[in-house]
Amino acid sequence: MAFVATRDSGFEIILKDGFKVAPGSTFICGFHGLGEVGFLSTAHLTRALEARRVGFIKSDMLPLFVSMENERLVLPFELYAYESFVFLVPRFQPHQSEQWQFIDRVARWIVENEFSEVLLLGGLDASFKEDDDDMRCVPTTAYKPLLDKWSIPLLEEGLFVAGPLALLLAELEMRDYPALGLLTYATRGRPDPRSAATMLEKINEVYGLNASVDQLLEESKEIERLEKMRKSIESEDRSSDMFV
């Protein structure tokens, strides 16, 4: 199978021969972070929509791991496409020593391919939740004319976005590009598929998609069941320490 590649100082975006991003497409990506919401949302969205794999990212610090999914070899950083959407699925965080270069090159590729908007998915510590809204958003200045369709409150002043998602938002703000950070409240310290399901339900609503979240909700129930068991066992252990 033939490939085409763009090269920049140890960083390549490798596209399957013949694939081109249609101008006006939407770019979606979510990194590992609080509750792993960004990665869970993006990866599940590609599966639920049966998006096709269209490329890969290769870098000098590529994680030394591969795995199998649906009887196919999967790599650390993959690109998928579905209709007018392109997804970056990062199964690992970019290596800390190359995060700036990684994010800078992805931002440049986004601008070069004339995406109409960029959605960056992530989690927000549920301990900061003070109302009934399940989400907050962080738009770049150029995204503000598109913001009304989401009906999501802005992230409160004094709270921060961190990690690769924050770097990519910053890069796109400096390039005056329309990008939106979408954050759902999530449980700290463990994967939170329920939070990812909330994210996908909102994306379904805004774009008229029909990506099922049933699997995420089932995974969430199992994680919550195991968490209750763990807390029950820990509680029993503490009670037994009171007696000799």
* Number of domains observed in the structure of the chain: 1
Q: What is the pLDDT of residues 171-183, one digit of tens each?
A: 999 999 999 999 9
CB 180 within 8 A of CB 139: yes
CATH code: domain of residue 72:
3.40.50.10900
DSSP assignments along 91-154, one per residue: SSPPPGGGHHHHHHHHHHHHHHTT-SEEEEEEEEEGGG--SS--EEEEE-GGGGGGGGGT--PB
Answer whether residue 112 is part of any domain: yes
Answer whether residue 91 is part of any domain: yes
Answer whether residue 241 is part of any domain: no
Q: What is the pLDDT of residues 3-56, one digit of tens each?
A: 444 444 578 999 998 899 999 999 999 998 898 899 999 999 999 999 999 999
d(CA 118, CA 190): 27
Answer whether residue 168 is part of any domain: yes
Answer whether residue 223 is part of any domain: no
Q: What is the largest CA-CA distance in the chain?
A: 73
Q: What is the pLDDT of residues 81-95, one digit of tens each?
A: 999 999 999 998 888
Answer whether residue 73 is part of any domain: yes
Range of the domain at 90: 3-213
Taking the model in full, what pTM does it have?
A: 0.87
Answer whether residue 84 is part of any domain: yes
Answer whether residue 98 is part of any domain: yes
